[in-house]
């Protein structure tokens, strides 16, 4: 038998999740015929057959995670050499099992209570004892069992949501976040203004005024890399499928028509889950227009190696001073979260001030695009 292992999919990825198989055991396939669809980070990738042969075994099912170098398919062959030269191992089944209640020493209890906890599968380390001096009683264990029984079953995070969880954990462990807020009076915007294009141009203006925000920080060497080109991550929310952040390239040097066309293409690719993996990499700064859903200001999450993310809240009508008299204007709330290891408060403030000034211009080259 010849074994085909999960190939290196690039971009430093080490594993993938099986989405669906296109073949079954016993099928005869030809070279380059699609074998399986896998989801890597946030992109679905089709893996073709490396040879023409009969499939004798498929490793893993939909939802299983496979590491690079682990076996995917076994083919009928005259030799037993693996196609990729990697060591053939055993894939661990990605089944989800409830945690065993082995840790039952969380508080003082009688042997009978300890036995009941083991029987009901309750971890007494998380049970609040109500007995004398905080001892765990039979009632405490039974109450914990009732709560556990009423709870919805745990569902493993997969695909985009798993990737989001991993990135958020990485950010929490590494980044030193700080947030500054402001608001822009956009009442002078003419009818037909494309809000997203105005925001993109405002981010470009901010990066010009304060290049420190358009950068990557490398903690291993305590160095930062300033980028001349602005590759802007645009947060796109797909409800149940999670958050995607494709990169809109070189936004500082593209005209409004080209920017709009590129933005629409990115959004369509994300919604259809056909976005190329490369378009989900290399962002130098991120824009999150969460106000389309709700909210005013927010402390956002900076995803390393980026050092900044601009959040835009829900536009509201507020009383402002206009020419020395009260007036009701449209106001756009802004939040800039930055990595304080690489960006000073003054650099962040200059960036946000430039964003506000750009947004408050009555006319802009990006004001309206048919």
* Residue 100 maps to a domain: no
Position 367 scores a pLDDT of 47
279 secondary structure, DSSP code:
G
- CA dist list (Å): 94 to 24, 63, 99, 115, 351: 20, 8, 15, 30, 45
Position 97 scores a pLDDT of 33
Residue identified by tokens 């198989």 is 21
- CATH number of the domain to which 286 belongs: 3.30.559.10
Domain range spanning residue 29? 2-75
Position 113 scores a pLDDT of 85
CA 351/CA 203 separation, integer angstroms? 8
Q: What is the pTM of this model?
A: 0.64
Could you give the number of structural domains in the chain? 3
- Nearest alpha carbon to residue 247 among 223, 222, 214: 214
The tens digit of pLDDT for each residue in 237-292 reads 876 667 788 999 999 999 999 999 999 999 898 888 888 888 889 999 999 999 98
Position 222 scores a pLDDT of 94
Position 42 scores a pLDDT of 57
Position 78 scores a pLDDT of 59
| CB distance 157 to 136 below 8 Å | no
Q: Which residues, in sequence order, are CB contacts of 37 under 8 Å at separation 6+?
A: 18, 19, 20, 22, 44, 45, 46, 47
- CATH number of the domain to which 130 belongs: 4.10.320.10
265 secondary structure, DSSP code:
H
In whole angstroms, how large is the CA radius of gyration of the chain? 27
CA 364/CA 362 separation, integer angstroms? 7
Position 23 scores a pLDDT of 92
With 0-12 / 13-18 / 19 or more C-beta atoms within 10 angstroms meaning exposed / middle / buried, residue 181 is middle
CA 248/CA 282 separation, integer angstroms? 10
Torsion from C-alpha of 297, 301, 307, 309, nearest 10 degrees: -40
Residues of the chain with pLDDT under 50: 80-106, 366-370
Strands 34-40 and 15-21: antiparallel
Of 49, 75, 101, which marks where a domain is finished?
Answer: 75
Are residue 176 and residue 146 in the same domain, yes or no?
no
* Residue 246 maps to a domain: yes
Position 244 scores a pLDDT of 85
């Amino acid at each position: 038998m010849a074994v085909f292992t999960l190939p290196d999919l690039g971009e430093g990825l080490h594993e993938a999740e099986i989405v669906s198989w296109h073949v079954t055991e016993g099928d005869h396939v030809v070279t380059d015929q699609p074998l399986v669809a896998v989801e890597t980070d946030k992109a679905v990738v089709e893996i073709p057959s490396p040879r023409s042969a009969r499939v004798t075994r498929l490793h893993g099912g939909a939802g299983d995670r496979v590491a690079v170098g682990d076996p995917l398919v076994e083919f009928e062959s005259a030799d037993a050499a693996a196609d990729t030269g990697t060591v053939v191992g055993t894939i661990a089944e990605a089944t989800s099992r409830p945690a065993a209640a082995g840790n039952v020493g969380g508080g003082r209890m009688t042997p009978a209570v300890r036995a009941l906890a083991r029987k009901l599968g309750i971890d007494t380390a998380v049970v609040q004892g109500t007995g004398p001096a905080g001892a765990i009683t039979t009632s405490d264990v039974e109450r914990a069992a009732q709560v556990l029984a009423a709870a919805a079953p745990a569902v493993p995070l997969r695909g985009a949501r798993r990737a989001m969880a991993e990135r958020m954990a990485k950010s929490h462990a590494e980044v030193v976040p700080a947030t500054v807020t402001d608001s822009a009076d956009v009442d002078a915007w003419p009818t037909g203004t494309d809000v997203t294009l105005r925001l993109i141009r405002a981010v470009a203006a901010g990066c010009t005024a304060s290049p420190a925000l358009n950068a990557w920080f490398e903690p291993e060497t305590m160095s930062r890399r300033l980028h001349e080109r602005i590759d802007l991550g645009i947060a796109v929310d797909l409800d149940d499928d999670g958050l995607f952040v494709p990169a809109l390239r070189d936004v500082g040097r593209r005209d409004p028509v080209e920017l709009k066309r590129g933005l629409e293409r990115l959004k369509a690719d994300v919604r259809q889950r056909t976005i190329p993996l490369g378009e989900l990499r290399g962002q130098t700064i991120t824009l999150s227009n969460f106000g389309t859903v709700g909210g005013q200001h927010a402390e956002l999450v900076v995803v390393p190696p980026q050092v900044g993310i601009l959040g835009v809240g829900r536009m509201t009508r507020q009383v402002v001073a206009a020419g020395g008299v009260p007036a009701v204007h449209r106001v756009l709330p802004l939040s800039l979260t930055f990595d304080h290891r690489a960006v000073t408060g003054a650099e962040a403030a200059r960036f946000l001030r430039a964003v506000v000034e750009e947004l408050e211009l009555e006319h802009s080259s990006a004001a309206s695009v048919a």
